[in-house]
Each structure stands twice: as structure tokens, then as C-alpha cells.
Amino acid sequence: MKKLLAVLLAALMVFSMLAFTACTKTETVDEEKTEAPTADETASAEGEEENQEEPNVVEVVEDDLQYIVNKGTLVIGITDFEPMDYQDADGSWIGFDADMAVAFAEYLGVIPEFQIIDWDNKVMELNSKIVDVIWNGMTLTDEVKASMETSNAYCNNAQVVILPASVADNYSDAESLKDLTFAVESGSAGKEMAEEYGFNYIEVADQATTLLEVKSGTADASIIDSLMAAAMVGEGTSYADLTYTIGLNSEEYGVGFRKGSTAAYALNDFLKASYADGTMEEIAETYGVQAAIIAQ
């Protein structure tokens, strides 16, 4: 009996020691698990969190042509510029550019709206969506093409010098004009020509005002588009005492939309179609500019 009891006690002691050892190992493992992570582990965990918190986001920008179609209007930025954009006796906007813009709006299925703009701020007014398009006998300069999505050229033009008819014979070339003071439209191709040739000049709101300056004597001469000169200067016009003389360059007109706008491509398709079916030439003949239009 005593021997059996001794065996049982011995067995119990062995079991207790084994249990204690197992418990100690478990606590050691738990402690190891609660130790601070290494720098690499921390960086890896943070990277995983960042990836979870900042998923890839693709910015969706509304197509500009679709924007125009959705709102149902085409707002056309213009200045008073006969024979391209000007008002008839009833106050309606007419002219080669105006009529073509109306036809393009109909092509898109939207309503045309004309908005007079500050020509010097045309890019700002376009980008801020005050207007949707600049369609106003706009010369396709490098600056214009860099800041807008432009159409194909549709009309030839030149910058010409306007002088009182009574003194025009005194000036035969650009060099002879050096001592004159010119009136030019702010932000225009005419202003660029004045700067290129080193002329003295004053800036006014639009090309029509340059003619008023010359007629009133506050400027000796002006520089305007040849198409405007042909329509507004000389016999049978309001400026019969003025004439246009020296051509300073040759250039082309285009239409400007916001940079990246797909509306420019839609307009190119429209210009091709309207040239092919004779619509462009018919409108040009109405305003006497048919010799200047460019084949599409």
C-alpha cells in the first residue's frame, strides 16, 4: 500500500512539472507575440494601410461637345466686326461668321446665343464658360493655337493700313509710316503688326473704334482686317473719306473652342459638309467675302 501511494505521488509530481513547463512555454510564446513589431514590419503595415485608404481614382472630365449639347445652347463670343459679326436694323446678329455659327448650332441641335466679349480677354471668357466658342474673324496665330482648340482655317485675310484718303498717296510702304500714331484693337492681330513694325499705337476696344479714331483725328492711321476694310471703308460706306492702302501680312481665320474640346472636330466636319454642299459659298456671297473662303 505504501509502495502504491509512493508511485501515485511520484506520478502526480511528474504530471505537475509537465503542466508547469507547458504553461511557461505558452506564456513565453504569448509574450513574444506581443513584442513591438520591427521597422520593416511597421513600414509594410503602413504601406498596406495607405494602399487601402487611397485607391486609384480616375478623374472623369465631361466632354466639351456633350456639355454644349446637354445645356442646349451654343454661346458665341463676338465683337462688332462687319462683315463677319454685326447687327442689322432690328438688332439681330448677322454676317458671314454669325450666319455660319447659327448653321452650326442647328447642326448640333442647340440654340445659338451671341455674347459680346472683351477681345483682349477672350481666352479667359472661353475657359470660364462665359462663352463656348470664339467665332469672330479670329487670326490663327501661334498664341491662339496654343491657348485654344482651333478649327481648320476657313477664310483668308490680311492686316491693312487705314489712312485718310486725302493723304494716302504720301505713304507707299511700311517705312514711310514710322512717324504716325496708329489705333489698334487690343489683343488683335493688328496690334501684333504694330509691335512687329515698331509703330506708335494706342489700343481701343474693337476694330470699328479704330476707324472712329482716324476719322476724328485722334489717330493718324489704323490697322484692321482686310475683310473689314473692304466692307466698311471707302465710297458708299460711313467712312467714305478713309481708304485702305498697305498690306502688312497674310493670315487665315479659324474658330476657337476650349483647349481639348471635341467640338472643334465636330465643326471641322460641319465646315467640310457646308463647303461641299455650297452652303458656305452661298453665305459668303451674301456678305461679299466669297473670294476669301478656303476650300475644306
**pLDDT at 32 (0 to 100):** 41
Residue 165 has pLDDT above 60, yes or no: yes
Angle at 247 between CA 294 and CA 143, to 5 degrees: 65
Nearest CA-CA partner of 225 in 81, 25, 24:
81
The stretch 96-108 carries a mean pLDDT of 98
| CA distance linking residue 104 with residue 122, whole number of Å | 20
pLDDT tier at 57 (50, 70, 90 boundaries)? very low
Helix or strand holding residue 113 (H, E): strand 111-116
pLDDT tier at 215 (50, 70, 90 boundaries)? very high
| CA distance linking residue 17 with residue 23, whole number of Å | 10
Residue 259: phi and psi, rounded to 5, are -55, 130
pLDDT tier at 2 (50, 70, 90 boundaries)? very low
Grid cell in block for residue 118? 472683351
- What are the pLDDT digits (tens) for 21-43? 444 444 443 444 444 444 444 44
The amino acid at 271: L
| CA distance linking residue 220 with residue 146, whole number of Å | 33
In order of their start, the domains of the chain are: 64-155+253-292 (3.40.190.10), 159-249 (3.40.190.10)
Please report where in the chains the cell 503602413 appears, as a residue: 46
Looking at the chain, the whole-number percentage of residues with pLDDT higher than 70 is: 79
Nearest CA-CA partner of 78 in 275, 233, 255, 269:
255
Please report where in the chains the cell 487670326 appears, as a residue: 139
Residue 103 in contact with residue 267, Cβ under 8 Å? no
β-pairing, 181-185 vs 200-204, is parallel
Concatenated DSSP letters of 79-95? --BTTTBEE-TTS-EES
Residue 218 in contact with residue 209, Cβ under 8 Å? no
**pLDDT at 11 (0 to 100):** 41
Residue 210 in contact with residue 218, Cβ under 8 Å? no
Nearest CA-CA partner of 129 in 61, 86, 74:
74
Grid cell in block for residue 59? 478623374
**pLDDT at 30 (0 to 100):** 43
Concatenated DSSP letters of 132-197? SEEEEEEE--HHHHHHSEE----EEE-EEEEEETTTGGG--SGGGGTT-EEEEETTSHHHHHHHHH
Q: What predicted TM-score, i.e. pTM, was given to this entire model?
A: 0.75
Residue 12: phi and psi, rounded to 5, are -65, -40
Angle at 116 between CA 296 and CA 275, to 5 degrees: 15
| CA distance linking residue 98 with residue 35, whole number of Å | 78
